[in-house]
Amino acid sequence: MIKPHGSDELNPLYVYNTQRRHALLAEAENLPSLLLNSAAAANAVMLGGGYFNPLTGYMNLADALSVAEKMHTVDGLFFPVPILNRTSETGIEAGSRIALRDPNVEGHPVLAIMDVEAVETISDEQNAFMAEKIFRTLDPQHPGVATFNSLGNILLSGPIDVLSFSYFQADFPDTFRTAVEIRNEIAEHGWEKVVAFQTRNPMHRAHEELCRMAMEQLDADGVLIHMLLGKLKPGDIPAEVRDASIRKMVELYFPPNTVMVTGYGFDMLYAGPREAVLHAVFRQNCGCTHLIVGRDHAGVGDYYGGFDAQTIFDEEVPADALQLEIFKADHTAYSKKLNKVVMMRDVPDHTKDDFVLLSGTAVREMLGKGIAPPPEFSRPEVARILSDYYQSLET
């Protein structure tokens, strides 16, 4: 199986030993506490699950600035975005040991214990520098920039022991999986070549066929459909609705034992190209050999060019940085001429009128009225689940 990023073995930070975990939870009750923001909590969950291997905790300011600028730490470890614990809390000192509490679960239970190696202040200039490098914009209307600017200017760095996976295990018991669990399941299947498909949305016919195209062209053993389960921007479809619609599609339209439907506990960054590279890092840690990167991968609005998330791998990611490879996908749509879903780049003789193309707004309006999109665009069983959701918003 493909090696994890940066090490021979995956090193998740979750404390799996029950006795040690109980001892740390007991210790945490007597430690000073910090209530995390959702971004730092999501980072802890991802560190716990092995997704951010080989990191051992939150980055310090020098590493954060280096990663933002050059996609590697001061010591040379390739990493595409800073993994930070930012706060506005004062009074925390370097050398202290603190309990990190979960902002997303009632009662704010302990999520992790941190050994604070450094407490540093991020200047406005440093914050702007990092934001511009990560998001390619400083526009406060960009949801990722808005969140990044709101996280506080005190930076805590150091190793952590993760004691919980937050609400993800309880809310999504059939879907949430750590990188450790996904690796184990890939091994159980005996899969060697595995394609990952990233999604924060329901999957329509074009997405379904894209997975099928990638499998066939790469002669892959299976597909990992890996959905984001964390915080999204207003208006995005809730994870439980996406989960139900994707599972229905896989159940009805893919051969048995060719697709794993899973999810991960992270908040969307909307960082376009940089987030695409982050997706590649943690899919390699999951044991995948390929990642589908399509049009406007992890983008939002008009902040990124349609294929910036592909060209970053050619222009900015060192050739030896990752073992995982990218499957570059064009916009896919149903061809009326050919009666099948195609990549637009493969049919230069087509005009726009030869495709079944619907905007997201148009689809939402149709579903809200109980009108199913054409079957060339969305499977009827998937459309029914989405329609029930949109109609529930009207009542």
Q: What is the pLDDT of residues 297-321, one digit of tens each?
A: 999 989 999 899 999 999 999 999 9
Together in a domain, 183 and 153: no
Q: What's the rounded Cα separation, in Å, for the pair 387 and 198?
A: 23
**Whether the Cβ atoms of residue 230 and residue 265 lie closer than 8 Å to each other:** yes
Together in a domain, 145 and 88: yes
The two tokens of residue 186 are 């890939």
Report yes or no on 7 lying in a domain: no
Which of 169, 201, 230 corresponds to the end of one domain? 169
Together in a domain, 162 and 212: no
Most confident range (mean pLDDT) of 125-129, 330-334, 341-345 is: 125-129
Report yes or no on 295 lying in a domain: yes
The number of folded domains in the chain is 2
Please give the pLDDT value at position 395. 62
Together in a domain, 198 and 148: no
**Whether the Cβ atoms of residue 54 and residue 77 lie closer than 8 Å to each other:** yes
Report yes or no on 320 lying in a domain: yes
Please give the pLDDT value at position 78. 98
Report yes or no on 368 lying in a domain: yes
CATH number at residue 304: 3.40.50.620
Question: What confidence tens digit (pLDDT) does each residue in 240-256 have?
Answer: 899 999 999 999 999 99
| Residues taking part in catalysis | 200-201
Report yes or no on 3 lying in a domain: no
Please give the pLDDT value at position 369. 84
Which of 131, 152, 169 corresponds to the end of one domain? 169
pLDDT greater at residue 393 or residue 114: 114
Report yes or no on 162 lying in a domain: yes
Together in a domain, 280 and 198: yes
* Secondary structure letter of residue 353 according to DSSP: G
For residue 278, the enclosing domain spans 173-394
Report yes or no on 71 lying in a domain: yes
Mean pLDDT, the chain, whole residue set: 94
Residue 361 has pLDDT above 80, yes or no: no
Together in a domain, 156 and 114: yes
Q: What's the rounded Cα separation, in Å, for the pair 151 and 160?
A: 19
Together in a domain, 146 and 179: no
**Whether the Cβ atoms of residue 334 and residue 91 lie closer than 8 Å to each other:** no
Q: Mean pLDDT, to the nearest integer, of 354-382? A: 85
Together in a domain, 32 and 49: yes
Continuous H helices in 73-142: 124-135
Residue whose token pair is 């999604």: 199
**Whether the Cβ atoms of residue 315 and residue 85 lie closer than 8 Å to each other:** no
CATH number at residue 72: 3.10.400.10
Question: What confidence tens digit (pLDDT) does each residue in 33-70 have?
Answer: 999 999 999 999 999 999 999 999 999 999 999 999 99
**SS3 (DSSP) at 126:** helix
What does each C-alpha distance from 327 to 167, 260, 276, 291, 360 come to in angstroms? 32, 18, 12, 6, 24
Q: 159: which strand partners?
A: 57
Q: pLDDT band for position 135 (50/70/90)?
A: very high
Q: What's the rounded Cα separation, in Å, for the pair 377 and 208?
A: 10
Contacts of 302 (CB under 8 A, 6+ apart): none
**Whether the Cβ atoms of residue 321 and residue 80 lie closer than 8 Å to each other:** no
Residue whose C-alpha is closest to residue 244's, from 378, 365, 386: 386
Together in a domain, 109 and 255: no
CA 143 to chain centre: 15
Per residue in 23-48, is it b (16+ CB within 10 Å) or e — as a string? ebbeebeebeebebbbbbbbbbbbbb
Q: 85: which strand partners?
A: 156
Q: Mean pLDDT, to the nearest integer, of 130-150? A: 97
Q: What's the rounded Cα separation, in Å, for the pair 104 and 171?
A: 12
**226-240, 248-262, 283-297: least confidently modelled range:** 226-240
Together in a domain, 155 and 180: no
Report yes or no on 1 lying in a domain: no
Percent of the chain with pLDDT over 90: 80
Together in a domain, 100 and 202: no
Residue whose C-alpha is closest to residue 160's, from 213, 100, 212: 100
Q: What's the rounded Cα separation, in Å, for the pair 12 and 7?
A: 12
**SS3 (DSSP) at 40:** helix
Q: Both ends of the chain: CA-CA distance in Å?
A: 50
Please give the pLDDT value at position 234. 72
Which of 100, 135, 169 corresponds to the end of one domain? 169
User: Nearest 5 degrees, angle CA 143-CA 104-CA 303?
Assistant: 10
Together in a domain, 121 and 213: no
Residue 355 has pLDDT above 80, yes or no: yes
